Homo-oligomer: A and B are copies of this chain.
């Protein structure tokens, strides 16, 4: 579904800095694209993680796409966001 060099990070209740750290490490390890995925109430948090990461990495990353979707989880529809971030150099 996604390119092999893509990492998906599921955003849940851990501290925002943990996710930022995970993303930074992944880029350093050679990942080209990170997708921050937040579901339900964690959608807002995924956006906060994006901005914290942007603060940290500045122009070396760019927002390549923002998807919003809806998927069935245990019988109920839940909204999600998928924030695609690319490493520029």
Contact = CB atoms under 8 A, between A and B. Distances in A.
Copies of this protein in the complex: 2
A81 interface: yes
A66 interface: yes
Contacts of A80: 47
Contacts of A66: 66-68
Contact of A43 (B47, B54, B70): B47
Interface in A8-61: 40-44, 47-48, 50-51, 54
Contacts of A81: 43, 47, 81
Interface of A: 40-44, 47-48, 50-51, 54, 63, 66-68, 70, 77, 79-81, 83
